Amino acid sequence: MAANLNSASRNRGWRLNRREQVVALVVLASCLLGSWLPGQITVATSGSLDHRVFLLRPVPAQIETGDYLVFRHRDLAQIRQGLGVNRERMIKRVGCRPGEWLHVDAEYRFSCNGRPLGQALATDSQGRPLPRFIHNGPVPEGQLFLVGTHPRSYDSRYFGFVDAREILHQALPLW
């Protein structure tokens, strides 16, 4: 009997039964996902968006209206006026693309091709004055007008166009 067990275990070699294969695959997938996923997920802490957790993807060749984008604006000092010193990257939604018509009225209500984008406020929640962007005409080539989904979002209504070269990632909402 002992000889039969020895011979059976020698013939088995390194082959795993079905359950062992599944466990090994789950462990391997967890390790790979655990090393890849942290760099691919970001959490928006600002209340300016409807979503909080995003999967980061490469910037698509064609950016569409409504896409969420992660960017680092060229004028961080102006952005920090509304955000605070430690935030360099922002996530906003594309409100108006190159060639589309951006309009702002006398009360700083913005629209793109007639679609409302929100109103720029005169002051922030602490009463500090905010710069307000003004542009009536087509969005220049290579520029994007990015907006948040919350009325108090600090976005292009205040700091203006974002150069497409400043886009770091597309952000796909997960939650």
The rounded percent of the chain whose pLDDT value lies above 90 is: 55
> What's the Cα-to-Cα distance from 24 to each of 21, 29, 35, 161, rounded to whole Å?
5, 9, 17, 50
Q: What type of residue is 82?
A: G
pLDDT reported for residue 87: 57
Tell me the per-residue pLDDT of 58-100, one tens digit each, with 9 for 90 and over.
Answer: 999 999 999 999 998 766 555 555 545 445 788 999 999 999 9
pLDDT reported for residue 132: 94
Q: Sign of the C-alpha dihedral, residues 119, 67, 39, 142?
A: negative
Paired strand residues for 116: 111
Tokens for 10? 């020698």
pLDDT reported for residue 27: 74
Residues shown for the chain: 175
Which distant-in-sequence residues (6+ apart) come within 8 Å of 21 by Cβ? Answer: none
Tokens for 115? 């679609």
In whole angstroms, what is the distance from residue 116 CA to residue 147 CA? 11
- Give me the residues of the chain with pLDDT under 70, please: 1-13, 29-39, 74-87
